[in-house]
């Protein structure tokens, strides 16, 4: 216990799924947490409802249930102003910020040449521009504080391989790898480490593709191939959270520029 004792973390997309799990896992090991989510639907092109204010507050209560403090902030990662508001909440409540988990993400499906401009834009804006906004809101204060820190960006197995049928999602998740690699070099002089985590399919995220997985697999053989993991059909949010915890902790003090897979062997299979 106490692997991140005394640290403060900001977790985006925390109202449910992986983000909620990351916030609770960090709190279990001693961190106080600021949790954010957009808390309303943002596009008809997404085939599922986004999380609610009530779910975000439920995350905050779960964090508090570990004995740690938590602030919940409704914020859209597509807006740097709203992300600066979340960082200000960390400053006002806790006086420091050590870890940024840029986790918020969305997805939809469709052949690349058939996607609407809005479908492309909403995925890219949340999944790629969102982490950039989160970093540019948080990093200046982290640099000023001079205490180093850790930035962890959620990518995907689709950020390593060319999965189908969601080229916009694949492009966004490859994009955050490039962002991470550049940031890891830019921020190294400030002792701020930057890494990505790459899950395969994760249970209990609240994200759906709009059609039954079995139907999509029958329609898209390459999707079915990508979904077959050597170890298990999927991983659970806590499996990814354990990787986030390691990267946030001082155990990873010299780990930067890493693509950390939590994918049950997905990206290594033949």
Q: Give the residue numbers annotated as catalytic, written as ranges.
A: 169
DSSP class of 95: S
Instruction: Answer positive or negative: Cα dihedral of 124, 128, 131, 134.
Output: negative
Outline where 52-79 has alpha helix (H). Answer: 53-64
Give the helix ranges, DSSP H, for 68-220: 80-94, 117-124, 130-145, 167-187, 213-219
Give residue 164's Cα distance to chain centre.
21
CA distance 176 to 156: 10
Q: Which secondary structure element, helix H or strand E, spans residue 11, and what is its range?
A: strand 8-11
Longest dimension (CA), the chain: 53
Residues 42 and 76: beta-carbon distance below 8 Å: yes
Alpha-carbon distance 201 to 207, whole Å?
11
Handedness of CA 66, 70, 76, 77 (dihedral sign): negative
């Amino acid at each position: 216990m106490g692997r991140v004792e005394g640290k403060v973390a900001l977790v985006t997309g925390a109202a449910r799924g992986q983000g909620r799990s990351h916030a609770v896992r960090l709190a279990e090991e001693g961190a106080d947490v600021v949790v954010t989510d957009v808390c309303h639907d943002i596009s008809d092109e997404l085939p599922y409802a986004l999380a609610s204010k009530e779910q975000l507050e439920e995350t905050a209560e779960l964090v508090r249930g570990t004995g740690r403090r938590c602030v919940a902030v409704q914020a859209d990662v597509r807006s740097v102003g709203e992300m600066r508001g979340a960082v200000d909440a960390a400053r006002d409540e806790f006086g420091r910020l050590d870890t940024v988990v840029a986790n918020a993400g969305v997805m939809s499906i469709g052949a690349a040449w058939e996607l609407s401009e809005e479908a492309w834009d909403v995925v890219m804006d949340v999944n790629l521009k969102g982490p950039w906004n989160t970093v540019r809101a948080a990093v200046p204060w982290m640099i000023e504080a001079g205490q180093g820190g850790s930035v962890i960006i959620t990518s995907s197995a689709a950020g390593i391989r060319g999965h189908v049928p969601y080229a916009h999602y694949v492009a966004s998740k490859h994009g955050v790898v490039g962002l991470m690699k550049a940031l890891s070099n830019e921020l190294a002089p400030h002792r701020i480490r930057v890494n990505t985590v790459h899950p395969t399919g994760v249970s209990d995220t609240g994200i759906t593709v709009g059609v039954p997985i079995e139907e999509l697999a029958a329609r898209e053989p390459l999707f079915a191939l990508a979904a077959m993991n050597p170890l298990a059909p999927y991983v659970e949010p806590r499996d990814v959270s354990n990787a986030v915890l390691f990267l946030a902790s001082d155990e990873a003090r010299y780990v930067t520029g890493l693509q950390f897979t939590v994918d049950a062997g997905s990206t290594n299979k033949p």
